[in-house]
Structure 1
Amino acid sequence: MIHNEQNIIGHGFLQQFNHFIKMPVIIFKDGQLLYANQCFKAAVGKPEFNIHTYDLNEDFQLTDAEHQEITITRADGTTRHFDATLKPIIYNHQDATFVMFNDISARKHVENNMVQIAHLRALMIKISNLILDSTSLSEFFDFILNTTLQAIEKTTLGSILVLDENKVLSTAASYGYSDEIDKFRLPLEKSFLYRETNGQLDKAEKISNATLLENFIPVKTAYGENAYLQSSINAPIYFQGKIYGLISIDSLEKHAFTAYDLDAVEFISKSIEIAVTNRLLYEEKAYLSRFDRLTKLHNRHFFDEYGELVIKRAQRYGEQFHLVMMDLNDLKQVNDQHSHLAGDHVLVHIAQAIRDCVRESDIFARFGGDEFVGLLFNSTTGAIKEKMENINTLLRKHPIQYDGCEIKISISYGVAQFKEEGNSIEDLLKLADERMYQYKKIKKSLSQA
């Protein structure tokens, strides 16, 4: 090194520099720190460290380049970004390197946010495209979680928790955890997010040291290891203005997540809210296109479409099945004497009685008003009639209770068999309907007698 007055630095220069220019400065030689001003000590979050024992490589790495961008990890786990300028100097009569740090954290924050948001928007487009996919709701949540984890650098675990009617959180999707997490249950008010937001659940929250949590417990990872969560970001998920669940992004490292990550999860949670809302509304619409809202049985639209498929399959493979028509006797009288709400209660009760007496492979639908229709497979006419009579026996022995009153109701039914008695759904419906009214007429005559 050429010695001249411009590269010889003494204590007088350093005092003037620190007085007029408030920037972190160090002087080092061969990895050994020779000098550090208070601004540098504050930058690394160690105001009392000893320069003789301080390890430069512990917080950041410097190269031989004259200008370089570095990231300093502070004592509290947070990070700050600097442009470092290195100059060869003479200090205390020895060759050394003078380093001046220009804080660019604010600029990096903006840059990182722009890059991260662009990345997140691309990921959210993927989620939006899945809304109308044929995947199940469980697969939908898995995709959302995996997509979110792609955007957060140091995450190793994650979960989506949904709220039940008792305000208890359970697992809808998870990553990195063992299957034991499927048994996880946590009252909402005991969750970290609930406590940190004083029950408001209005924003994402970050915790950098999970040992501070009251309910700090070990978890078992997908590899079967027992480990402790050290960092977590929790954000609420809303559906139609009400809390629906939480997304939790977790890590086994302390101070794993930055302010950027918190902003990212905040952004993601809002996007997830839109995606989940659209998906659940789609699920509801899809459900209502197939099921009757009141009785939860299939509706006539579904029955008409499914019936045609059953006919084609039966004709192709020589299968047999029975069609059953059923209606309630004197439901109008129940509506007139009690109320239409009482009539609805009766319909729901009958629908449950139907579900209890048929197999899962059988299909029953509300055909309209007080009429029901079913397709029963692998059975006989006699066995089906016995099931229908069992419903009447149950209704006779255990009248329906409503608002302190007993409601006595019964059913009439008719059965038709494919292919012996009809080759189409229309033919079977017509025959079963005729037999149902014959049954009704006979029962009425017996009652009057």
Structure 2
Amino acid sequence: MSSSPSHDTICLPITFINELSQSNDLHETLTLISNWLPQIIGSDRASVCLNNGSDETLEVFALFGNNAIEANTILPISSTMVGRVYSNKQLEINNNLAQSKDLDCQILHKGGLGSCVDAPLQHSGTCFGTLNLGSLEPDTYKPEDGAQLECIANWLANYIHAQMEITEHKKRAETDPLTKANNRHCLNTVGNELLKLWETDQQPFSMIMIDIDHFKQFNDNYGHHVGDQILVTFSQVINQVIRKSEHFMRIGGDEFVILLEGNVDLATKLAERIRKAIKDMALKHDDDSLIITVSCGVTSVQNQDSSLECLYNRADKALYQSKKNGRDQTTAI
């Protein structure tokens, strides 16, 4: 491990500052921070934990070095040192992890670490996460190391918070406010990215187009508030079926699209899982049990496709065929 700078100075590498100022998104910013921190304050591990929208948990968003607690791990606030630092907005040093009763410290100890230090990330008086350092050896961190980390955390909090706001703004711009699915703008963005991968690496991808059968009748018979509830529940079921790598979008009314990597057979199997899950969807209105079905059209990228519109038109044609043949079915072209 490198030696720590003296307690009255903070030595930040110029390369780190330059890279940080040029980082384009939250993930890149957090990765840079976790990669550089062990070089600034000698450590064997660095991570960034952020609030993940829950009042009870934090999530490890970036990690460098020892992976006793891996990236994307969800940690409870109530029984952890990192949670206490987050809640109290106060730095903590633990130089003897073997004796700690905190859940995260126990996991770090089992993973080979001997000591750790956590500093809160704060913006305008609100804590939104922590910076965390760990060492294989016990008794590593001195008060001046904690003071350095806390000062760095206060400085970096501005960068991280700004990227979080940009990420949230982008998410709102690409999200349908009713169903929380992505919107048509996201369809174009993701679809064109997949099309480029196809053109450069021949990486196949597919499109599933989904319509709720006779949706207008639900609106006419029960009111638009019931139609909205159908759309919301439908979207929740879809999100339970698809994987994180698959992109679900509402492109208008009761028309939805899913983009996924893989060929038409893989996409058809997913469409069928969705169709069956929607049919089993429990939705009641007063004393009525509403039976919801969907029709699906599936296609995959082909050599002659010059734009995303080619896939869209072909999936739409397949969807029309499903409706023509009686609905509640999947057609692949």
Same fold (TM over 0.5): yes
1:271 counterpart = 2:160 = no
Structure-2 separation of matches of 1:162 and 1:403: 42
Distance (Å, rounded) in 2 between the aligned partners of 1:217 and 1:358: 35
- 1:293-332 superposed matches below 5 A: 295=179, 297-305=181-189, 307=191, 325-332=209-216
2:24 pairs with one of 126, 132, 138: 132
Alignment counterpart, residue 160 of structure 1, candidates 30, 39, 48: 48
Say whether the 8 Å CA contact 2:96–2:114 is kept in structure 1: no
- In structure 1, distance between residues paired with 2:47 and 2:203: 46
Instruction: Give the length in aligned residue pairs.
Output: 315
Q: Which residue type is aligned with residue 228 of structure 1?
A: G
- Whether 1:151 and 2:40 are equivalent positions in the alignment is yes
1:65-116 CA distance string (max 9 Å, x none):
xxxxxxxxxxxxxxxxxxxxxxxxxxxxxxxxxxxxxxxxxxxx9xx63x42
The 1:409/1:238 distance shift into structure 2, 3 A limit, reads: farther
Higher normalized contact order (CA 8 Å, seq sep 6+, divided by chain length): 2
Which runs of 5 or more structure 1 residues have no equivalent in the other structure? 1-108, 445-449
- Which of 375, 378, 381 does residue 263 from structure 2 map onto? 378
> TM-score of the superposition, structure 2-length normalised?
0.64
Offset at 1:321? 7.9
Aligned to 1:180: 68
Name the CA shift for 1:420/1:290 in 2 (closer, same or farther; >3 Å).
Answer: same
Which residue among 196, 201, 206 is the counterpart of 2:88?
201
State whether structure 2 residue 114 is matched by structure 1 residue 228.
Answer: yes
CA distance in 1, matches of 2:203, 2:46: 48
Relative to the length of structure 1, the TM-score reads 0.51
**Percent identical:** 26
Which SS does the other structure have where 1:304 is aligned? helix
Q: Which has the larger radius of gyration?
A: 1
For residue 89 of structure 2, give the secondary structure of its aligned residue in structure 1: coil
1:370, CA displacement in angstroms? 1.5
RMSD: 5.2
Deviation of 1:132 after TM superposition, in Å, equals: 0.6
Letter in structure 1 aligned against 2:165? L
Which is richer in strand?
1
- Contact kept? 2:91, 2:118, Cα under 8 Å: yes
1:409 maps to a residue whose letter is I
Task: Give the match's secondary structure for 1:181.
Answer: coil
Deviation at 1:267, TM superposition (A): 1.7
SS of match in other structure, 2:88: coil
Unaligned runs of 5+ in 2: 1-5, 328-333
CA distance in 2, matches of 1:218, 1:396: 43
Q: How big is each residue's C-alpha offset from its partner over 1:129-171, in whole Å with a ceiling of 9 and x where there is no partner? A: 25315xx82x64343134333333x655544344553624554
Matches for 1:204-283 after TM superposition, within 5 Å? 204-206=91-93, 228-229=114-115, 232-238=116-122, 243-250=127-134, 252=137, 254=139, 256-258=141-143, 260-283=144-167
SS at match of 1:190: coil
Does the 8 Å CA contact 1:163/1:169 hold for their aligned counterparts? Answer: yes
